Chain A
Amino acid sequence: MSRIYINGIASISPQSEDIFETEPLKEYQDNIIPALNQDYKSMINPMLLRRMSAAVKMGLFSSKKALLDAKIDIPDSILVGTGQGCLKDTENFMVSMLNSEEGLLRPTSFIQSTHNTVGGQIALDLKCTGYNMTYTQNSASFESALLDSILQFKSETEIQNVLVGGVDETSPAFTGFQKLDGQLKQEPVRNTDLLASKTSGSIFSETSSFFILGSEESENSYAELVDVEIINSTEVQNIGKRTEQFLQTNNLSSSDIDVVILGNNGDSRYDSYYHELREKLFAGKVQLAFKHLVGENNSVSAYAFWLASKIMKEKRIPDFIKLNDLNCKEPRKILIYNQYLGKNHGLILLKNLDL
């Protein structure tokens, strides 16, 4: 089978992209945390920018940065994962409609409310007429898009470069509702204390991470994407077995994995899935976490994919993402495992370039 290389990466989140190098960790007290502002005008027409929601401008900006990083002008396909889509425009239109009791409404928010607005706007900006797909499956949204990108390379012979990413934004009322139904923590928790939290719920955030996957290795390559698995629901006691099965289909076993990146989000009800893997299957392995940096959202596993890519290329693992004291000088295989509320489990397997 042909190989798939990660040739360009970009991320917008509550943390700086230079987090490995110089930047200290940003700390937040709120349970809803925004992404860091970017110099959007440097890459997006200011006239268009004014109308763009956070999801669209984050998605477009990080896409363009990933393309620049990979030195690619136009990808062959555009694949987006977004769990909640264009939440802000949806809320705007909903509120106007309800408050006016279905009065005279402006269409702008409505036309920007569809989940594929980000993918459509990227296509429009790049004038890219290629395959364009948007997946929205809760915490398996990015994994769905990533799986489709693997199929792109497998089944479409002309595909050389795929743009794939995950993006989610927050909005005042809709994200606020997630506190009412217990998805958000009821008490304020500092992000850096999230993993030690003993209460239910998590903290929600805005993130966008995009990647260029290519069929050829380049000087800029970070790692190889090997495979992705989506499991909608499984019991805690079976997650180890399911993970091992996934590795077996790739002719590997858990002992081949050097580093595991886990989606612990400090929700006392569901972190047991991660504990199960930490204590059993990956007990002797380097264990990393990331949601204490960037919070939880339905496509945040794309941030973990960004972290994994960076770790592979730079061959170092900062202490502030470690869950245990182990180290690995040159990770060869990294597994990302994430789930949300005990459902929509995703496994992503990467390997380094030297194999």
Chain B
Amino acid sequence: MKGVAVTGVGIISSIGKDLEETRHSLLKGKSGIGFPQNLKTRHNNLPVGEIALSNSELNALLKLNPKSAYTRATMLGIYAVNQLLDNTDLKNFSSDTGIISGTSVGGIDMTERYFKDFEKDPEKRKFIQAQHPGFSTEMIAEYFGLKNFVSTISTACSSSANAIMMGARMIESGKLKRVIVGGSDCLTKFTLNGFNSLMILSGNECRPFDENRNGLNLGEAAAFILLEADDCIGGKEVLGRLTGYGNANDAFHQTASSENGEGAFLAISKALKKAGISGNEVDYINAHGTGTKNNDLSESIAFRRVFGDEIPAFSSTKSFTGHTLGAAGAAEAVFSLLCIREQEIFPNLNFSTAMKETGLNPVTEVQKVKIDTVLSNSFGFGGNCTSLIFQKDE
């Protein structure tokens, strides 16, 4: 059997607390973008894709020990993995299950909150270690009783796509039989101010691939999928197979993408090669599509280079969720798997005019079409470009 089987998914984002709510929002064109309520920031005029649940609500829902150091990314991560359990018939995970999470800033929400309190308030010091991404993954692992292989990838906005790729390679090499892969990132003042200082945040809802796009919206999400070796699947439903993946580096600039989309081109090409398919077999691309001038142009040029004039249907679901940074690759992997399961393409919101350089038009209405193969792109700072290919289980 080709590729690695996906036997479970779980997600929480600004467009849904479970899979059905998520799909409903995607079908109804209901974005999660609004002004921040939970995040206390001076920049409350900047639209974000915020999850409505507050930290105390998450704490109560998950019945967490208040003495432990749960950051928001950790809580969202636990929530999403619980969703994964709910969506499968599993009660818990076998002890040999590994977990690889991707996150960009980990627990920095608590560091920015308590930075000036650590010195005088010993109660807050439990969050000192919690700043680091690996700590967040360990806390998620501990919640689910996973004690063996626990690792974390932090490659900015491609983190969780890379975690999914690494998980597949661990299964293919026989190092693991089962692995939970995905990622979690929450809204923080750190990232909001960071992207604001780069002047790439839009004051409106983002417009991926539009000629008049003027920046991205930040979002928060956690999404995890379960990968299993074929001899472990048993009677479980296979939601799709990860058949291709590729990572490459743009080697152009720390934050900007190259004009010729080299990193994206290489990542997509590697993923196609790994899947053993040609470009015309791709039915849909869930694009990285942040809504910045730079990314969307560079990504469009990479599409032209890979697919020529036959560019598959594509859309950016960041118009629904905002850019959820390290979690984006996993959230969009879940959307891609939904596309395959439901045989439908989710639209790119807020698009009206194709960019003049490439003239590409994303899908703007829900399409019910045959979907066997989906390509999902995730690109990050440091030139990090990753493409994943999910295919229908045969």
Contacts and interface: CB of A to CB of B under 8 A. Distances in A.
A107 B256 CA distance: 13
A230 B250 CA distance: 30
Contacts of B1: none
A128 B193 contact: no
Contacts of B146: 232
Given A106-B197, A174-B131, A119 B382 contact: yes
A136 B128 contact: no
B104 A114 contact: yes
A119 B155 contact: yes
Contact of B247 (A131, A137, A138): A131
A321 B248 CA distance: 40
Interface residues of A, number: 65
B162 A133 contact: yes
Given A105-B193, A133-B155, A344 B248 contact: no
A110 B383 contact: no
B197 A105 contact: yes
A181 B384 contact: no
B173 A107 contact: no
A136 B153 contact: yes
Contact of A232 (B141, B169, B262): B141
Contact of B151 (A151, A174, A230): A230
Interface residues of B, number: 69
B342 to A, nearest CB: 32
Interface in B249-266: 249-255, 262-263, 266
A161 interface: no
A148 B166 contact: yes
Nearest to B325: A114
A124 B253 contact: yes
Nearest to B104: A114
A183 B384 CA distance: 33
Interface in B103-133: 104, 106, 108, 111-112, 115-116, 118-119, 122, 125-126, 128-129, 131-133
Interface stretch (A10-18, A21-29, A95-103, A192-200): A95-103
A110 B125 contact: no
A183 B108 CA distance: 19
Interface string B324-345: 0000000000000000000000
12 contacts: A85-B133, A94-B112, A102-B43, A105-B194, A111-B194, A114-B381, A117-B381, A127-B251, A137-B152, A173-B115, A233-B142, A233-B147
Interface of B: 41-43, 104, 106, 108, 111-112, 115-116, 118-119, 122, 125-126, 128-129, 131-135, 137-138, 141-142, 146-156, 162, 166, 169-170, 172-173, 175, 189-190, 193-198, 247-255, 262-263, 266, 380-384
